[in-house]
Amino acid sequence: MAGIRLICALLLALVSGPGLAQAEDAPRVPGSWAEISLSFAPLVKEAAPAVVNIYARRVVQARRSPFDGDPFFGGLFRDFGAPRPRVQNSLGSGVIVSADGFVVSNYHVVGQADDIRVVLNDRREYQARVLIGDEEADLAILKVDAEDMPFLPLRDSDTVEVGELVLAIGNPFGVGQTVSSGIVSGLARSGTATGTGRGYFIQTDAPINPGNSGGALIDVAGRMIGINTSILTRSGGSNGIGFAIPAALVAQFLEQARSGKTVFERPWAGATGQPVDADLSDGLGLLRPEGVIITALHPASPLAAAGIAVGDVVVEVAGKPVNTPAEMLFRMSVQGLGKTVEMAYLRNGDVLRSSVALIAPPDDPPSERRVLGERDILVGLEIARINPAVSNDLGLPLTKDGIVVLQPGPLGRRVGLQTGDVIRRVNRFVIQSPADVGPALRQAAPNVQIEAERDGQRLILRFRA
């Protein structure tokens, strides 16, 4: 022990020599044996009660009868290949973010569950229900009926810096609550860089293993800066590249859940764009690659209404730099609907600024959603007119128009229709509105031919009705 103290004293003498004095608040080596003995234990003791284990249960049908929904053979073979219920269980983590029982977790942990139990580290258990779940963001807000719950305060994730010490708290592999430490190793991770193809993340080297999903990434002050969600791995284990959803987006989810929303509403840009790489930068005459170049705009786009045009390069949203479409959408989403955000963009070498309204995708022209009934040929087929709201829900291109399949129904699925197919013709009848589909199918019977479009490719489906 005396030898270790002597080594520490020599190190302190070396670093505190003339010319190497550091400012009071600058990073420095430990100044005493007490500082060397510091640990994260007090921080963990304070934060851990707000991180919970989540047990989710879902009942699914393991098999479907090949005659399910068939109007002719369904009755005769009612018991043939009857669906048998099967229970799927998932295990993950969550974080209590308010004293009145709001809990945040990942959508992939709880989004499809029929029964959810939240277990605190003091072994108290509560039933929970999902208020908002969003698969694209991989976030869900749960509610338990309890008061005076331990919770973690949210930190503004825009203030997080690379190199900060962080702790990841969760329930990996179901072994119980565990804590791992690391640093923030990257910011503004999005798209294919994360291995997920979506989202906007904080990167950390704190180990995140299966079951840690939905757990907390906290700073040394005990504030939550993100929700652990995924790892980038080739072996299945943690390789020191983990990703967390920033607390700024969690705060927006929580705000919408408190206001009674059941679906997360994100602003609609009505635009497509791509990152500016070195080649584009040279062609545009930019000093360096930066921003997102706008490649298409919907006529109703709020960006177009603000004066932004195709070919402009958006470099800032709400005062923060953006370099990918995912980052741009994130910056808009954390502001919330009904507000305005300032965007800075480049045009012909000039920096311009505009205030852009954050609006939901408009349901205009009206979608006229319709479900075919029992007297129609393809009972259960749900169709709608394509508009910005429908395109946004289905991920269709901005320029797409026509009548789209929302749900094919059991018979539509059998003849080959899929969600997102655009129906152009039924036999010789041109489909111009959802109301045309049912009558056109009846008139075409018994030999029906549907001309549709899928992923830009023409599709012909023939069947006997």
Show the tokens assigned to 280: 């584009």
Residue from 457, 367, 373 nearest 411 by CA: 373
Collapse the DSSP code of 194 into the 3-class scheme (helix H, G, I; strand E, B; otherwise coil) and give the result: helix
Check 68, 90, 134, 138 and give the catalytic one: 138
Residue 436 neighbours by CB under 8 Å, 6+ apart: 403, 429
Collapse the DSSP code of 452 into the 3-class scheme (helix H, G, I; strand E, B; otherwise coil) and give the result: strand
| DSSP letter for each residue of 1-40 | -HHHHHHHHHHHHHHTSTT----TTS-----SHHHHT--S
210 by Cβ neighbours in 10 Å (0-12 / 13-18 / 19+) ranks as middle
Show the tokens assigned to 206: 């704190």
Collapse the DSSP code of 267 into the 3-class scheme (helix H, G, I; strand E, B; otherwise coil) and give the result: coil
- For residue 60, what are the β-bridge partners? 86
**219 alpha-carbon distance from chain centroid:** 22
Check 108, 354, 367, 421 and give the catalytic one: 108
Q: Is there a catalytic annotation at residue 213?
A: yes
Q: What Å distances lie between residue 8 and 5, 29, 30, 32, 378, CA to CA?
A: 5, 10, 9, 8, 80
Peptide bond into 27 cis (omega under 30): no
Show the tokens assigned to 175: 């072994």
Q: What Å distances lie between residue 295 and 7, 222, 326, CA to CA?
A: 62, 43, 15
Q: Is there a catalytic annotation at residue 298?
A: no
State the helix-helix crossing angle for 247-258 and 325-333, rounded to 10 degrees: 40
| DSSP letter for each residue of 393-448 | HHT--TT--SEEEEE-HHHHHHHT--TTPEEEEETTEEP-SGGGHHHHHHHHTTEE
d(CA 421, CA 167): 46
Tell me if 59 sits within 8 A of 85, measured CB to CB: yes
Residue 283 phi, psi (nearest 5)? -65, -30
Q: Is there a catalytic annotation at residue 108?
A: yes
Residue from 394, 382, 399, 397 nearest 438 by CA: 382
Tokens 């009846």 belong to residue: 442
Tokens 């840009």 belong to residue: 269
> What is the set of active-site residues?
108, 138, 213
